[in-house]
Structure 1
Amino acid sequence: MQLNLYDDNNNNNNSDCDDLSKQLTIKTNIIDLYNNHIQNAILTIENSQKLVDLMIFNGKHISTIIKVERHKA
């Protein structure tokens, strides 16, 4: 009887491990997907800001000189 109880517990432990493994896989996939969306958003923002106005403040005058390419920090 005790051996049968051990086998049931062992099967339950395997089932719990399988469930935990599936949950971890799903959570990892969600984090990867979230990371990809964040990277795409950052890339979109960086590309939209690639050209910026270079302004010079000289005393009372502010003038736009040229468009310059923005470099990543």
Structure 2
Amino acid sequence: MQCRIGCGACCIAPSISSLNKAAGERCKHLSTDNLCQLFGRPERPKVCQDFKAAEWVCGSTRQQALDTLIHLEQQTLDD
């Protein structure tokens, strides 16, 4: 699956510890049109580089992606 251009759910819903980013907070490297400003650059965090869009995570809409990622984030906090 290809990333939905302008979705940004993976840059909002989860926490990203290497960027000191809390869950639900917009990444400081996310542009106003929801594009990663570090994409393809060496300083992009490994966790971001390793994330691959998948239908089971991203669903068919941006809202589905946000809902799934929020749910997954909450599950990891409960453990």
More helix by share: 1
More strand by share: 1
Report TM bin, short chain. Answer: under 0.3
With a CA cutoff of 8 Å and minimum separation of 6, indicate the structure with the bigger relative contact order: 2
From the CA coordinates, give the structure whose radius of gyration is larger.
Answer: 1
TM-score between the two structures when normalised by the length of structure 2: 0.24
TM-score between the two structures when normalised by the length of structure 1: 0.26
